């Protein structure tokens, strides 16, 4: 009987680890593979993010995260700080994103070919 109780308690404990996970889909204004790479590299380093996908075709970043280590607001700010709009969060004016603002992304590659 003790073994069954221990098993049930263990299963609930394991299940509890997923109760704190969140999932978020963020619309962005990324425009090229360089933008996608920038976002990916930043999310790779962000604490509390379990997994993510960056979909250039739909301009969507989907993030699964541990809501005890990070928050939706923090993740959205991380993307906005790069210079990308992230849902209703405006891109940071001093962000690194270049498309149309500072010439170091896809815009500069197009301009360089002209």
So where are the chain's domains? Answer: 19-94
Q: Indicate whether 100 pLDDT > 60.
A: no
Residues pairing with 54 in the sheet: 61
Q: Indicate whether 40 pLDDT > 60.
A: yes
CATH of span 19-94: 3.30.70.100
CA distance 42 to 82: 8
Instruction: Please say whether the beta carbons of 79 and 86 come within 8 A.
Output: yes
Position 19 scores a pLDDT of 46
pLDDT: which is higher, 22 or 112: 22
Write down the pTM of the prediction.
0.69
Question: Residue 93 has which token pair?
Answer: 């004016």
């Amino acid at each position: 009987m003790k073994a069954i109780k221990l098993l049930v308690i263990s299963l609930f404990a394991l299940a509890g680890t997923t109760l704190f996970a969140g999932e978020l889909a963020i619309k962005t204004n990324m425009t090229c593979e360089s933008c996608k790479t920038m976002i990916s590299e930043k999310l790779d380093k962000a604490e509390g993010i379990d997994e993510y996908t960056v979909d250039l075709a739909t301009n969507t970043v989907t993030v699964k995260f541990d809501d005890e280590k990070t928050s939706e607001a923090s993740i959205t700010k991380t993307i906005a700080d790069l210079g990308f709009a992230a849902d209703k969060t405006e891109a940071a004016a001093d962000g690194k994103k270049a498309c149309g603002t500072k010439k170091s992304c896809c815009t500069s590659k197009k301009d360089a070919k002209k």
